[in-house]
Structure 1
């Protein structure tokens, strides 16, 4: 079929009008995809910063726990007297703040520059009267005072044997 010149002109004019909406649609799709990737990258960066903050607090608490336990075992530190049963002084902010020690003068990886702390409480075991038991609780900080990690170590010294029972505290006690 042979088209006349006037029909071809009308068809070309109609085809020219469709190009702009197609280009605008493709540009909008690219812009939407780029915005979604940007949001995903920002969320991943926030997650990475949160994990790094958590790890700084964890390493601070772990270092304080190890240093306090080592000092307790070599006799340079003593524990705060506790009652029978498991000590609960670490759950009270007033008790923890008044009895806690900082085994390090400063903690360089924490942006709040708060050194990790530990509290040592004595523990009387009812089933093992000759054993000395201690509950060592450590608190480490991340980039702010709100990001904290709490760790505990139960030490039981019975004769020459030392038993260690480690645990992480899932929630801040105060």
Structure 2
């Protein structure tokens, strides 16, 4: 299966790593404490960090990310107000990352799922679905195969431009959970 490096060691990092490992992928983690000193080994690199940490990671690992698939899971929220996204209108965090990593295949994924729904592979009675946006069909296919091998559904959500809508959906889901309108074990399910 896939060879994956996850930058981050928090709840989402471990939930994503668990799904991928369950599917037979090799998973390694780089912690915040290792930032800049560790070697990125994976062909797929998951940025499982809060959005404000992305620029530092790209500065530390940018050269090592060339030629790799980089998966952005962030939701670029203004956490001080919890009332807006902090990227320019019509853009996305993922598109900004792609601009900074022109020699990488950047994907948006996992930002519309909660850690609990990844770990359980369920949203209510539905199978958890990871929506994947990006411009490289092969990169999306490889990530989808690794996710599906781990027992979670994956759907190609379209081009990198669709990351904008995925971030809006992630933002809505987070605000609903933070406002206790839905549980952190819930969220949006996809019926196909």
Q: Same fold (TM over 0.5)?
A: no
The structure whose Rg is larger is 1
> What range is the shorter-chain TM-score in?
under 0.3
Query: Structure 1 length normalisation: TM-score?
Result: 0.24
